Structure 1
Amino acid sequence: MMVLKIRWKTVSLLLLLMSLQSHLLAKNISADINVGDADRVLRSGKIITLDNQSTEHQALAVRDGKILLTGTDEEVNKLIGPETQVIELDGRTVIPGLIDGHIHGIRAGLTFNDEVGWYDITSIEEGLEKLREKARNTAPGEWIIVAGGWVKEQVAEGRAPTLAELDEISSQHPIYIQHLYDLVVLNSAGLQAFGINDQTANPAMGKYHRDSENKLTGRITGSLPFIFSTYRKLPRLSFDQQVEGTKAFGVELSRLGLTGFIDAGGGGLFPQSFHPLYKLWRDGQLKQRIRFFVSPQRPGKELEDIMQWADFQAMGHGDDMLRFSGFGEIVVWGMHDGADIGVHFGPSEKAKNDLLAVAKYLAERQYSMQIHAHHDHSASQILDIIEQVHLDSPITDLRWSICHGEDFTEKTLLRMKALNMAWGVQNRLYFMGDDYLAIMGKKIARSAPPLNTGLKNGLVIAAGTDAHRVSPYNPFVSLEWLVNGKSLSGTVIRGVKESVSREQALRMYTQGSAWLTFEENKLGSLEIGKFADLVVLSDDYMTVDEDNISEIVSLMTMVNGEVVYAAAPFGL
């Protein structure tokens, strides 16, 4: 008889493996997970999973870019091996990576390094000082540009800068300041560079403002397409500059916890606009998962433009980092109701027929579509057309969406739900809420937008910012607004009845956006088998004062289980 001597250390290891397998089986996880299988472990924290039970855990493990296990420190520690990177959270909160459901991020990246950001100024003087700093570090003759991302409500003066103020900054640099899509202000050098003088006639869709002596004031106003065309007069940056700007913008979004975004297309994006993004994609340097929609750029020839794109761009073409997701948010320019508050929208019969043709084409070929509508009466007219298309070519499986919609009625939301459409909501009223209240009145403003009504009726809501020209890109500003309904001034615009909980807002910014692109089983929550896209926060989103949610930033951002951004104490 042979006596086998088994060392106690070996027995302990076997017992550990048996215990781990029992735990995994209890969680319906494959029992072939072994000690040391985790590439990374985050422990001793507060893991907000956003699973169906709203579970919170202490720790999670990552393997091959996906969530391997969530649980207690004791449970997850069993997966640590000699090659596992262990990240001590020290009680910090972890959330699923944020996904901006509607942002113009591709366009923003192209010029990010070249533009001056006014998103955080509180006075015109602060903005002017940023321009002075830029002028000191910019060669004479080169443009100084603020391409939006700020609103007059955020500055103490409540206005845009004047020609005189911009001329004081520099006579050697043309200066361009854009406010939303309703105003551009140029200095004298900028007017000269654009070939505009006191004798220049007003353009068809715009106006060069003059004073009482018929002298130019530097102010230019006009329609949205006109403002687009004015911006396009600015010199185009080199390809390398656009690549570096796109890369820097990705880092900035990582700092704010964005692990993905859905680009809403819009004006000014042409095939060549995507080339810098494609280079970063090919080189494996993207910081976010990017899903993009494409808008036709030629008013009156929208169907022709869309057909050309569709000839070589199949729905869903791309990979898990970059993917084409459909057409919008502009699909027919004549059906775009702009951004003005309280203006009645009356599209022509031609525009309606054009939308009917475009929507029919996309539905027949199974493309996703998102479409812009700020006002309920605009959405109602759009839905009339979509419902007509749906009779012959059902869209319920295509995940079409309407974006914006501050004053949508329950009737409109129910029509959207019947078509299985989603609703894209952005925080424009954080910046323009006071104007909205004054123009639309208290009754409508208190329900703008009617978030709880949408959720009650089962709509998927995807949250975002609509950055970067009409608003800043900070997702935590948007999350704060979703929760407290306040404008930038601190005025309560949306009432409690239509505001949402912190968890509901977070689900809109994660799962809602993932649903738009058919990825709710891959993204949007920290559950086993999903991509390990996550954010370690500077403060606890669930408990910080709701008026301070906007101050939260990321201390560490992971995409696909890899660290793409880290600040102290985890990195730089």
Structure 2
Amino acid sequence: MRMWGSRQGPADVVFTNARVTTGVAGRPTQEAVAIRAGRISGVGSHADLSGLIDARTDVVDLGGRRVVPGLIDSHIHFVRAGRNWVDEARWDDANTLAEALDVISRAAAARPAGAWIVVLGGWHAGQFAERRPPTRAELDAVAPGHPVYAQESYTRAFLNTRAMAACGVTGAGAAPDGGAYEVDTTGEPTGVVTGVPAFNHCLSRALDFDVDRSAESTKALVAELAAFGLTGVVDMGGRSRMNIDAYRPLFQLHRRGELDLRVRLFMHVFGSADEEEGELDAYMTYIRPGFGDDLLRVVGIGEIASARWYDADGLEQVVLSPEEREQFARMSERAIRLGWAMNIHGVADPTVSQLLSVWEELDPELRARARLAISHADFTTPETLERMRALGVGVTVQHWMTVGAGDLAQVLGEQPVRQAPPLRTMLDLGMKVGAGTDAMVAASANPWHALHWLVTGVNRGRGPSRDATQLLTREEALIAYTAGSSWFGGDETSAGTLEPGKLADLAVLSADYFEVADDDIPAIRSELTLVGGRPTHVGAAFAGLTAQD
């Protein structure tokens, strides 16, 4: 479907009889929105916009549906997921083990014998009514002719017998350094593996990388995200299963004019510790910040500038040596001088505090030009958040905790987890907050799961729920997912709200986000998604909708 035309004058299309949420805090719901040349040309009542309508204007009656700004995931591992998205099975919406096993059974029926079936994160055994993961025997039973690998976030993976043989997970097999193969009382492997090196060992056998196929896979992922109402993502790289070649499918898709999503890239280190600073220097030497266009653009450095100050889920203790502090200061100074944004991973308060202490020592005039952010900040104290606010440091928050809260509570206790992340404190301080998922391994890419978690605090992994004092209102959560997220990709002046002059990125929802029961939020989908006025997802309700030149 083509976009509405680029001619001047009256609107190309007016959506009316709607409930239009502009995304501007406190602004009342409007009835209609007009689009011309890919941008919003008016928002108001139908009468207000009547002057923008002529004989060539498409007028579309939305039947009272809710319209919201296009959702923007401010922290997602989109590029990595796109590599093999079409080869994955997903348990994101499975509420019982029986449903999860049925996903495997249907995948087995649809694939040739011997083909791998991979469930790569986004789930936790606690989300199932049975409160347990699948057994090897259960995986064997539903896919006897296929190797099956089901990874639960970054905690553990479950293999059936065929997958164990293919990966060498046998009594004689040794796990890679940093990984482990669980064994039973007789010393025989159970099919459960732990540790990123062991995960990558198995995945290297399960998933192939072909640029052309991965481009089509990325295109399929974009279509699924558009069906949720997503119009933009901020990609945060990824150390596991990533290298510079992983970006080739995305750029190929863009060159073909088939990228239907705004993608903002943060560049990430891939090499060994002694190569990291050189890698970032190379990016900053050969790539101009802002390189790209309105659809695909390189914007910053992150999420991992060095593996040495990466604290994973907050349980890894990070202590920066004087040399590491100097290295981080050099990286930061060069990035800021050249106009690069920085968005650095930090979950635990001591990690975030140390990163801030380096930024606080930078030249104030240089720091004033910076666009700095912390990803996660789940366990930060009010004092640390105040320091972030004073520096103008933003924070991106994600619903990875909905999967990991139960496991973290066993180590940290329930009280710290109930306060994590301190969302209300962040907003009350006036901080820049963007919402996202941290998908695809750490959590589901479904933004409505994340929005449900932002407003209810309920964790699908059956961990302790976030305290009521740290919940957001539905309006606050939606703004974090739209206008809030736009800042982290450098798009706050062009996207994130439905205001005249801004890009026509919007979603027409299947149910009214502001009126449905809390438990029904995760089921919301988009019936019509536009990126720059161009339909990127058209549901059954609008199947007859056509665009004009």
Q: 1:79 aligns with which of 21, 35, 52?
A: 52
Superposed, which structure 2 residues align to 1:42-441 within 5 Å? 42-51=15-24, 53-222=26-195, 224=196, 227-228=199-200, 230-267=202-239, 268-300=241-273, 301-339=275-313, 342=315, 344-346=317-319, 351-388=324-361, 390-391=362-363, 394-441=366-413
Q: Are the equivalent residues in 2 in contact too, given 1:356–1:385 (CA < 8 A)?
A: yes
The Cα of 1:299 is off from its aligned counterpart by 2.9
Gaps of 5+ in 1: 1-31
Q: Distance in 1 between matches of 2:77 and 2:316?
A: 24
Q: Which moved more, 1:534-543 or 1:166-175?
A: 166-175
Hey, what's the Cα distance between the residues in 2 that align with 1:271 and 1:235?
17
Q: Does 1:39 align with 2:1?
A: no
Displacement of 1:429 after TM fit? 2.3
Q: 1:392 to 1:94 in 2, by over 3 A?
A: closer
Q: For residues 301 and 164 of structure 2, what CA distance do their matches in structure 1 show?
A: 36
Aligned match of 1:516: 488
Amino acid in the other structure paired with 1:130: V
Deviation at 1:228?
4.2
**SS of aligned partner of 1:328:** strand
Rg bigger for which structure? 1
The TM-score with structure 2 as length reference comes to: 0.92
Deviates more, 1:487-496 or 1:522-531: 487-496
Contact 1:434–1:493 (8 Å) recurs in 2: no
Alignment root-mean-square deviation, CA: 2.3
Rounded to whole Å, the distance in 2 between the matches of 1:311 and 1:67 is 37
Counterparts of 1:373 and 1:330, CA distance in 2: 9
Q: CA deviation at 1:560?
A: 0.4
Structure 1 counterpart of 2:505: 533
Cα distance in structure 2, aligned partners of 1:524 and 1:552: 19
1:64 is displaced (CA, Å) by: 0.2
Q: CA deviation at 1:398?
A: 2.5
Displacement of 1:283 in angstroms is 1.9
SS of match in other structure, 2:397: strand
Bigger Cα displacement from structure 2, 248-257 vs 491-500: 491-500
In the other structure, the counterpart of 1:544 is 516
Asked if 1 retains the 8 angstrom alpha-carbon contact of 2:22 and 2:497, the reply is yes
**Following TM superposition, by how much is the alpha carbon of 1:433 offset from its aligned partner in structure 2, in angstroms?**
3.2
Distance in 1 of aligned mates of 2:109 and 2:8: 58
Provide closer, same or farther for how the CA distance between residues 540 and 121 of structure 1 changes in structure 2, counting only shifts above 3 A. Answer: same
More displaced stretch, 448-457 vs 553-562: 448-457
Q: Which region of structure 1 is more displaced relative to structure 2, 551-560 or 149-158?
A: 149-158
Shift of 1:72: 1.1
Name the amino acid aligned to 1:90: G
Secondary structure of the equivalent of 1:369? strand
User: Which amino acid letter does the alignment assign opposite residue 296 of structure 2?
Assistant: L
3-state SS of paired residue (2:73): strand
Asked if the contact 2:418–2:467 (Cα under 8 Å) also holds between the matched residues in 1, the reply is yes
Deviation at 1:416, TM superposition (A): 1.2
Alignment deviations for residues 41-91 of structure 1 (CA, whole Å, 9 cap, x no partner): 100111111235513211111000001111111122332222211110111
Q: Separation in 1 of the partners of 2:127 and 2:26?
A: 39
2: CA distance between counterparts of 1:408 and 1:551? 31
Q: Give the paired residue count.
A: 536
Offset from partner CA, 1:146-167 (integer Å, 9 cap, x none): 1111112111233332333223
Cα pair 1:371 1:401 within 8 Å, conserved: yes
User: What CA distance in whole angstroms lies between the structure 1 residues aligned with 2:139 and 2:418?
Assistant: 38
**Cα distance change on mapping 1:221 and 1:437 into 2, 3 Å:** closer
Q: Secondary structure at the match of 1:293?
A: strand
Q: 1:343 to 1:311 in 2, by over 3 A?
A: closer
Give, as a single letter, the amino acid of the residue that structure 1 aligns with 2:375: C
CA distance in 2, matches of 1:231, 1:350: 35
Report the TM-score when normalising by structure 1: 0.88
**Residues 364 and 393 of structure 1 are in contact (CA less than 8 Å); yes or no, is this contact kept in structure 2?**
no
For the 8 Å contact 1:335–1:355, the answer to whether it is kept is no
Change (3 A) 1:326 1:41: same
Report the Cα distance in structure 1 between the residues aligned to 2:479 and 2:517, rounded to whole angstroms.
19
2:4 alignment partner in structure 1:
none
Give yes or no for contact 1:254–1:564 (8 Å, CA) kept in 2: yes
TM-superposed deviation, 1:490: 7.5
CA contact (8 A) 2:121 2:150 kept: yes
Change (3 A) 1:188 1:122: same
Tell me, yes or no, if the aligned pair for 1:360 and 1:393 is still in contact at 8 Å: no
SS of the residue corresponding to residue 366 of structure 2 reads coil
What is the rounded CA distance, in whole Å, between the counterparts of 2:461 and 2:265 in structure 1?
33
Cα 1:349/1:159, change in 2 over 3 Å: farther
Instruction: Quote the Cα distance in structure 2 between the aligned partners of 1:451 and 1:464.
Output: 13
Identify if the C-alpha distance between structure 1 residues 232 and 401 changes in structure 2 by more than 3 Å, giving closer, same or farther.
farther
Query: Percent identity among equivalent residues?
Result: 34
Letter in 2 for 1:213: T
Instruction: Confirm or deny: 8 A CA contact 2:118 2:149 kept in the other structure.
Output: yes
Residues 139 and 95 of structure 1: CA distance in aligned 2, closer, same or farther (over 3 Å): same
1:498-543 Cα shifts (integer Å, max 9, x gaps): 2111111111101111111222111011100000101111122122
**2:404·2:461 contact (CA, 8 Å) conserved in 1?**
no
Please state how far the C-alpha of 1:193 moved relative to its aligned partner: 2.0
Cα gap change, 1:442 to 1:182, in 2 (>3 Å):
closer
Note if contact 1:208-1:221 (Cα within 8 Å) is conserved in structure 2: yes
The residue number in structure 2 matching 1:16 is none
Give 2:543's aligned amino acid: G
Structure-2 separation of matches of 1:164 and 1:520: 51
